[in-house]
Structure 1
Amino acid sequence: MDRYERTLALHRVLKNARYPVPIKRLMDELGCSRATLYRDIAFLRDALGAPIESDATGEGGLRYDEKEAERFELPGLWLNSDELHALLATHQLLDRSGNGVLASALAPLKSRIETLLSEQAGGKRWPVERVRVLGSGVRRRDEIAFRVVAGAVLERKRLGFDYLARSTNERTHRTVSPQRLTHYKDNWYLDAYDHDRDGLRSFSVDRIQHARVIDEAALDLPDAELDQHLASSYGIFSGAPKGWASIVFSAKAARWVADEHWHSKQEGRFLPDGRYQLKIPYSNAKELLMDVLRYGADAEITEPESLRQQARTLLQLAVSAYEKST
């Protein structure tokens, strides 16, 4: 636990306690040393004004003053960024469910989220509309196909479908053993073992057509093998790494890139002149190039040379398109 989590936990224990709570129990509840506990108690009492009182019997227990306990609440927001995002994203997703089959079943969950947010505001209404969770680049999909795909993943059945590849606009028929359904950058992808091609592939669900479940058990691959193939390189269509890309960002862009998470195995360092060098394992260059090129002149791929040439070609084609328009 960090300090804020311990303070929140300490507050909850003391607020709900009918009798003084022994120091040893508080140490066990918070998972901390006696010295850390006393620092947290001092912070809660002196900085936040908690009505903490010691056990009058001299046995070392702590509790809130009975008269003040009911009305004392911690000030400010005590959710961390991930917790707040999870609650608000879930709340907005429940709003988007409309009047579907889950609406009535999920209503208590939405109410519970609103209660949790209200508790953060000391019992007042929490203004959900003041915080936004925005989607970006959400693509249209066939909901019937999505249900079939999701059902096959959960039921562990093989799946047959037509796939219209976005890169080539070619239609192929696939027979796969679905492994995982992945939500990435606001879109859904199917990670599956392709029986015809004898390998793992990722499919954009919005490009799947005429999906049907095959009454045959799906081939299950070990999680370690899936992670090695699907999460070891950059981007959603990763595959086993073919190499490492080295990108150097200008000193201006470095202020953003140095704080960004691109990949679990990324390596980054500031250069003496203030620029920032980022190294990332990659397999399929397409997504990596798109993300690098959005930085324009503030990013330069330095290695490998083949990736650098691909970036140069894309930039030259872009310049050519602008020259033709004039």
Structure 2
Amino acid sequence: MERIERINSLHRILSASRYPVTVQRLQEELQCSRATVYRDLAYLRDYLMAPVVGNGEAGFRYDHSDGTRFELPGLWLSSEELYSLLAAQQLLVRSGGGVLSNALAPLQQRIEKLLGEHAGGRRVPVERIRVIPHRRRRLDEASFRNVATAVLDRRRLSFDYRARSTDEKTRRTVSPQRLTHYRENWYLDCWDHEREALRSFSVDRIVNAKVQDEAARDVPDEELDRQLSSSYGIFSGAPKGWATIVFSPKSARWVADEHWHSQQQGRFLPDGRFELKVPYSTARELLMDVMHYGADAEIIEPAALREQARTHLQLALSNYER
């Protein structure tokens, strides 16, 4: 059960109970651990200002001694939670009327139900909030369905893949691990059997995908996180180093509020510039993001990455010198 559902369920239980409710009962009804019950009670009391009273021995209840009845506020999701729900809802809407849309219809109904519960039963005017796609790539829907099926059914997958960087076409057989939506595009995280290593493939470059009868090899979540989530962006792997980028005072106001990486380190310099440090494995995506800021960003170290940036910029400048 997700936290949104748990908070709503916890609120209903406490509202309907005349006497304190034990932690054991809350664990059973919310299907969560004892620690999670205490965290949810604290969130309900401290963040949503619910009149929660009691303790772990006697149980918990709402204090209605002042004669008022507590109701959840009209908007209590965090911005991240609201974005996640709305983004998922709009992704489903944009999937069209094909097989994928039909298969995901129950999920969309579930999301709409959660939004309705969040708004106290009122219809949420989702059209008032827009999640605008940016630089989304076209997908082969048949291949996408087979990729998703292989991920969910835990079956091996074979497909033709044309690498965007080299345009080389290869046939791959993989054990799918995760389907990742990142920056408006889908990526398949998997174990590549020929190369005997974890790889990420852009789904829009996958064609002729076939689900195999053989069961997929499962890679532990810890290994997936270490190899695919620890470094910068979707082009990840074990971090090979840290990049230090300094942004001008003008850009500092934007970059200081941006989330580039879970382990990033940032600080304002005395002259108003902003220094950002991020781990990275391959330079490609990091360079693209840094160059987005043009003259307002400078890679300080490592020297090899700085030289790569210099080369890219010189090649770009040469296009305007003809």
Tell me which residue corresponds to 2:126: 128
Instruction: Tell me the amino acid that sits aligned with residue 86 of structure 2.
Output: L
Structure 1 length-normalised TM? 0.75
CA distance in 2, matches of 1:144, 1:21: 54
1:191 and 2:189 are equivalent in the alignment? yes
**Equivalent in 142, 147, 153 of residue 155 of structure 1:** 153
CA distance in 2, matches of 1:8, 1:176: 41
> Is the 8 Å Cα contact of residues 244 and 304 (structure 1) preserved in structure 2?
yes
Q: Cα offset for 1:282?
A: 1.0
> Is the 8 Å Cα contact of residues 248 and 300 (structure 1) preserved in structure 2?
yes
1:88 and 2:86 are equivalent in the alignment? yes
> Is the 8 Å Cα contact of residues 76 and 120 (structure 1) preserved in structure 2?
yes
Instruction: Tell me the amino acid that sits aligned with residue 274 of structure 1.
Output: G
> Is the 8 Å Cα contact of residues 20 and 63 (structure 1) preserved in structure 2?
no
Summarize deviations over 1:208-230 as a string: whole Å, max 9, x none: 12222333333332222222211
CA 1:218–1:30 in 2, change beyond 3 Å: closer, same or farther?
A: closer
1:219 and 2:223 are equivalent in the alignment? no
CA distance in 1, matches of 2:302, 2:123: 54
**Equivalent in 299, 305, 308 of residue 306 of structure 2:** 308
Instruction: Tell me the amino acid that sits aligned with residue 208 of structure 1.
Output: I
1:201 and 2:199 are equivalent in the alignment? yes
Q: Secondary structure at the match of 1:221?
A: coil
CA distance in 2, matches of 1:186, 1:216: 31
Instruction: Tell me the amino acid that sits aligned with residue 198 of structure 1.
Output: E
Instruction: Tell me the amino acid that sits aligned with residue 239 of structure 1.
Output: G
> Is the 8 Å Cα contact of residues 228 and 240 (structure 1) preserved in structure 2?
yes
Query: Which one has the largest radius of gyration?
Result: 1
Greater Cα shift, 122-131 or 183-192: 122-131
Greater Cα shift, 219-228 or 310-319: 219-228
CA distance in 1, matches of 2:179, 2:110: 27
Greater Cα shift, 260-269 or 212-221: 212-221
1:237 and 2:258 are equivalent in the alignment? no
Summarize deviations over 1:111-134 as a string: whole Å, max 9, x none: 665565456556654322211122
CA distance in 1, matches of 2:264, 2:75: 32
CA distance in 1, matches of 2:321, 2:243: 30
Tell me which residue corresponds to 1:284: 282
CA 1:142–1:86 in 2, change beyond 3 Å: closer, same or farther?
A: same
Q: Secondary structure at the match of 1:146?
A: helix
User: Identical aligned pairs, as a percentage?
Assistant: 64
Unaligned residue ranges in structure 1 (runs of 5+): 1-6, 46-51, 53-60
Q: Secondary structure at the match of 2:93?
A: helix
Q: Cα offset for 1:259?
A: 1.9
CA distance in 2, matches of 1:93, 1:284: 29
**Equivalent in 295, 298, 311 of residue 297 of structure 1:** 295
Instruction: Tell me the amino acid that sits aligned with residue 172 of structure 1.
Output: T
Tell me which residue corresponds to 2:137: 139
CA 1:106–1:218 in 2, change beyond 3 Å: closer, same or farther?
A: closer
CA 1:138–1:66 in 2, change beyond 3 Å: closer, same or farther?
A: same
Q: Cα offset for 1:187?
A: 1.2
Tell me which residue corresponds to 1:318: 316
> Is the 8 Å Cα contact of residues 15 and 63 (structure 1) preserved in structure 2?
no
Unaligned residue ranges in structure 2 (runs of 5+): 1-6, 27-33, 53-60
Instruction: Tell me the amino acid that sits aligned with residue 222 of structure 1.
Output: P
Instruction: Tell me the amino acid that sits aligned with residue 94 of structure 2.
Output: R
Aligned residues: 300
Summarize deviations over 1:12-68 as a string: whole Å, max 9, x none: 566444x3669x999x99848xxx99x969x669xxxxxx9xxxxxxxx86548997
Instruction: Tell me the amino acid that sits aligned with residue 127 of structure 2.
Output: E
Instruction: Tell me the amino acid that sits aligned with residue 154 of structure 1.
Output: L
Structure 2 length-normalised TM? 0.76
Summarize deviations over 1:275-310 as a string: whole Å, max 9, x none: 111111111100000011101111100001111111
Tell me which residue corresponds to 2:268: 270
Q: Cα offset for 1:194?
A: 2.1
Summarize deviations over 1:191-218 as a string: whole Å, max 9, x none: 2222222322111111112222333333
CA 1:123–1:201 in 2, change beyond 3 Å: closer, same or farther?
A: closer
Q: Cα offset for 1:189?
A: 1.0
> Is the 8 Å Cα contact of residues 8 and 78 (structure 1) preserved in structure 2?
no
> Is the 8 Å Cα contact of residues 14 and 63 (structure 1) preserved in structure 2?
no
Instruction: Tell me the amino acid that sits aligned with residue 237 of structure 1.
Output: F
> Is the 8 Å Cα contact of residues 50 and 62 (structure 2) preserved in structure 1?
no
CA distance in 1, matches of 2:218, 2:10: 45
Tell me which residue corresponds to 2:31: none
CA distance in 2, matches of 1:86, 1:188: 16
> Is the 8 Å Cα contact of residues 21 and 63 (structure 1) preserved in structure 2?
no
Instruction: Tell me the amino acid that sits aligned with residue 322 of structure 1.
Output: Y
Q: Secondary structure at the match of 1:138?
A: coil
